[in-house]
Amino acid sequence: MGASTVRDIVYETWNELKATELPTLTNDSFKEVAIGFAQHWHFPHVLDAIDGTHIKIECPPKSGSAYYNYKQTFSFVLQGVCDAQCNFISVDVGDFGRHSDGGVLKHSSFGRALYSNNLPIPLDESICGSDSLPYVFLGDEAYPLLRNIMRPFPRRGLDNVRRIYNYRHSRARRTIECAFGVLVGKWSVLKTTLNMLPENAIKVVLACCVLHNFVRRRGVSLDNIESNEIDNSWSLILQQLKSIPSQSDCGLYDWDG
């Protein structure tokens, strides 16, 4: 196909599917996601897992070092926020590859809404008879510790309670890592270095994200992932996740070894 034809298809895909596959966030939709994390990963009050991944591109003209990242390649960042089933509920694409995950969060539309308290986050509620606790997003060490963002404890000097928390946190947060793995495994264009202008590459990534949700919500679940959907490394991660013993929601601090 000609370049203009492909471009029109990509743009139309994004424009037609964004409203249904990445709908506006609401209080009820956040609560549904929290129920999913409590049921599948036994971590209550989790709204979503959040992380960023680099999309490699050819160095854009006259861009200097803006897109040059710590991996010594040129890229922009896809910041994804996903639910318990590895579906994206929000994506921000296009920040410079030289920025950290925390910096990308500040620059993103999702991050600006979070910092300005404009997200429809549910009110604090009790967990298993405890005091009222906030709903939170789960991020890795690159994200700041905020009232609605939880990150792991530093790895040095961990006591048993903190070690158990990090285990639970990592177990739930790996859904976003798996979402990126499924996305790249399904849409192989993301495995390559995109040789196009950033504004066109961004549309390609956005189209892949809405197609990711479109396909998964219509037949592929976390419990029924075909072996050819993702590469072997991500398949192994999913098998490890599913093999972890289930525990009750109230057993947040029960350590099974």
pLDDT in tens, 202-243: 999 999 999 999 999 887 544 444 444 444 545 555 555 555
Give domain status of residue 125, yes or no. Answer: yes
Range of the structural domain that residue 96 is part of:
3-243
**Range with the lowest mean pLDDT among 38-42, 76-80, 143-147, 215-219?**
215-219
Give domain status of residue 251, yes or no. Answer: no
Give domain status of residue 248, yes or no. Answer: no
* Residue 71 scores a pLDDT above 90: no
Position with higher pLDDT, 250 vs 239:
239
Range 153-177 average pLDDT: 91
- Mean pLDDT across the chain: 85
Give domain status of residue 49, yes or no. Answer: yes
Q: Which of 197, 203, 253 is nearest to 7 (CA)?
A: 203
Q: How far apart are CA 81 and CA 159, in angstroms?
A: 30
116-155: b or e for each residue (b if 16 or more CB lie within 10 Å)?
eeebebeeeeeeeeeeeeebbbbbbeebeeeeebbbbbee
Give domain status of residue 257, yes or no. Answer: no
Instruction: Find where tokens 């809404």 sit.
Output: 113
Give domain status of residue 235, yes or no. Answer: yes
Q: How far apart are CA 28 and CA 176, in angstroms?
A: 21
* Residue 247 scores a pLDDT above 50: no
- In the chain, the number of structural domains is 1
Give domain status of residue 201, yes or no. Answer: yes
Give domain status of residue 252, yes or no. Answer: no
